[in-house]
Amino acid sequence: MTTEPGLRESKKQETRQLISDCATRLFIEQGFEQTTIAEIATAARVAKKTVTNYFPRKEDLALDHHELFTGGLARTVADRSPGEAPLAALERAFRATLAEHSPVVGFTGPQFARMVTDSPTLTARLRELHDLREETLASALADPGADTGSDAAFAPRAAAALIAAADRLLFRRIQELTLAGRTDDEIEAALTPEADQVFALLAAALADSAT
């Protein structure tokens, strides 16, 4: 009784991944704007409706881990250790993902990075995702009991804006170095001291806050 739903879910995940993989390959080969949903469906051997059921927005076929990305900073804050400051948790998490060469912080490979850079649609969508990442972080930092018009309610938004700006800067830096032909290990080596500087500036800027 419990196996069938599990197999069904596994099959759905396999189909979703297959569609995403086929889409990414075509986007890289042909360009995002030039590739149609019908071509993706044909490559994945599924119906066009199946593609749109799994991915209502074409952009999500390329940026298919958008939910993980937009909620990442907020989850780090929510899951931090007792007594750990939010900024300390975020710095720890960034350094871990940097060492892992994670796509979440910008390690996407030169072909994928070029595909996004060359597409106005994907570039705009990535900006939207960064905005959502900032909004979810602000919610995680907020005091649920604070009056919306108070300084206590505004301060988390200000902190989130500063942290998100630094997050975007580091993401773009990784993308720049990727497009410049640097290897992941070289990018990690270059970003380590730059991240030191960024987080030191954030710590100074947020010194009087609870962040």
Q: Could you write out the DSSP letters of every residue in 128-141?
A: HHHHHHHHHHHHHH
- Residue of 127, 136, 72, 58 lying closest to 102 (CA atoms): 72
pTM of the predicted model, to two decimals? 0.87
The one-digit pLDDT tens for each residue of the chain (211 residues) are 445 678 888 889 999 999 999 999 999 999 999 999 999 999 999 999 999 999 999 999 999 888 889 999 999 999 999 999 999 999 999 999 999 999 999 999 999 999 999 999 999 999 999 999 999 999 999 977 666 666 667 889 999 999 999 999 999 999 999 999 999 999 999 999 999 999 999 999 998 777 7
- Residue of 131, 136, 134, 132 lying closest to 78 (CA atoms): 136
Evaluate whether 113 touches 74 at the Cβ level (below 8 Å): no
- Spell out the residues 6+ positions from residue 151 whose beta carbon is closer than 8 angstroms to its own: none
Which residue has tokens 């072909």? 111
Rounded to an integer, what distance in angstroms lies between the CA atom of residue 154 and that of residue 33?
Answer: 39
Rounded to an integer, what distance in angstroms lies between the CA atom of residue 138 and that of residue 159?
Answer: 8
Taking CA 196 as the corner, what is the angle to CA 190 and CA 201, rounded to the nearest 5 degrees? 130
For residue 104, the SS3 value is helix
